[in-house]
Amino acid sequence: MNKFGDAPGTRAAVIRLRDVPMSTTMTNHAIELGDKIKNKTAVIGIVGLGYVGLPLADALHAGGLRVLGFDVDPAKITNLEQGVNYLKHLGADMTERLSASDRFEATTDFQRLDEPDVILVCVPTPVGTHLEPDLTYVIKTAEAIGARLRPAQLVVLESTTYPGTTTGDFIPAMLQAAKQHNRGEFKLGENLFVAFSPEREDPGRKSHTTTTIPKLVGGTDPVSTQLACDAYKHGVTEVVPVRSAEVAEAAKILENVFRAVNIALVNELKTVFDTMGIDVWEVIEAASTKPFGFMPFYPGPGLGGHCIPIDPFYLTWKAREHGCVTRFIELAGEINRQMPEYVVEKTAEALNDDEKSVKGSNIIVVGLAYKPNVDDTRETPAAEIIELLAQRGAKVSYHDPHVPSFPNMRNYKFDMHSVPLDAGTLGGADCVVIVTDHAVTDWQAIADHAKLVIDTRNAMAHIENPNARIVKA
């Protein structure tokens, strides 16, 4: 066996074809690449080793493929070489497994992009200050690939974006760079193969993993679709081809718009029911007893993570380009963005009832991560809540066992460290604001020692006879 010839794992995959036209005529380049993928001799390149790219690398590596990872951050490469997992929710065994394998390598050298037979692009797609799409990382990656492009490569974009990005932005940037660097002539479906396959990661979720979440695949042509499906089936149990890259792009946007709109609905209902003296959590629980026609969504202090607060605005921006107005989506975004202010206002009202002002009050924010049981702080509403409270003159601290120090964030910079939830800290606080309900949080300690609790997650619902006054927000 050669360096990469250790016995591959086996993984069954289901490919649902539906009415999607698959390839019937394949060029020599397509046949060559297809044989490599089928025989597991293809090298898989993954650009971006973050929340999407790293678990994908692990899944395809477990399926018996050689994986070459790329990232601009040297610290990630060092961690991977040493078997240190910088994404704690994935577990140390993942990086230990990869670092010990001679079928995995990570590098910052993008000159090696000509080595992989298949390149999967998993880079961020943020929005600007005015909620406009920022494709900087996507375009730079396309240009880097183009500068080293060679015949018989498959390139798949996974980054969430608006419909038309793959064909209208990514491919032109890649081909222009290939031309500038004299990489030869390329024709889609003949010697170059391109597809879009949206990431569907949900960090911290135990019920579904990269391997078990169905993988949508939409190529720019039937041959590309076929090749991409064949590549992914080595690491994913179910692959679902769709008719085009645009359909796959739109499906991902739909998934996140659906969640954003429904979360906005329950957030709005929370504020309405609160004025009526009705507990929205009890209402949702009651409505959930209906076995059909209702899917529960839950209110919160605002939206966090990379997808739901951001992705819908990629569609609204693109829709305006086509002369369409997305009132529903924009209203949902407006409601969700207002929730941190609502939480702070509820905190101010509760303190006022205790004959205290926000200014000068000691307030502990419980939970800095945007969701339970992870260390992911991307777009976390906790950061805005902390800033708003500080602007009102509060002395703010936070507790989060998963985030020991406040990270450097694009819009927020605080020199803060997680404080303990002990009797002294809680007893010295005027108010505790629950933003994230980690499973390891000592809710009983909060109930026993805090004076006032603002609960945005219904985390204290199970506590009986608390000493603290609990206000749901």
Distance from C-alpha of 104 to C-alpha of 295, rounded to nearest angstrom: 41
Domain co-membership, 459 together with 310 = yes
Count of structural domains within the chain: 2
Domain co-membership, 50 together with 141 = yes
Identify the domain boundary among 209, 243, 277: 243
Asked if 171 and 220 count as a contact pair (C-beta separation under 8 A), the reply is yes
Which pLDDT belongs to residue 6?
39
Domain co-membership, 163 together with 295 = no
Regions in the chain scoring below 50 on pLDDT = 1-12, 17
Domain co-membership, 92 together with 227 = yes
Which pLDDT belongs to residue 64?
97
Domain co-membership, 178 together with 271 = no
Enumerate the H helices of 23-151 as residue ranges.
Answer: 28-39, 53-62, 74-82, 92-99, 136-147
Which pLDDT belongs to residue 204?
75
CATH of the domain at 82: 3.40.50.720
Domain co-membership, 19 together with 89 = yes
Which pLDDT belongs to residue 317?
84
pLDDT in tens, 20-33: 555 557 899 999 99
In the numeric block, the tokens 């135990």 are attached to 206
What integer best gives the mean pLDDT of the chain?
92
| Total count of residues recorded for the chain | 473
Catalytic residues: 307
Domain co-membership, 19 together with 107 = yes
Range of the domain at 188: 14-243
Distance from C-alpha of 161 to C-alpha of 177, rounded to nearest angstrom: 21
Which pLDDT belongs to residue 11?
43
Side chain identity at residue 186, one-letter code: F
Does any domain span residue 380? yes
Domain co-membership, 204 together with 320 = no
What is the number of other CB atoms lying within 10 angstroms of the CB of residue 114? 14
Does any domain span residue 253? no
Which pLDDT belongs to residue 1?
34
Domain co-membership, 391 together with 275 = yes
Domain co-membership, 270 together with 235 = no
Does any domain span residue 285? yes
pTM summary value: 0.88
- Give DSSP secondary structure letters for 21-39: ---S---HHHHHHHHHHHH
pLDDT in tens, 230-248: 999 999 999 999 999 999 9
Domain co-membership, 279 together with 237 = no
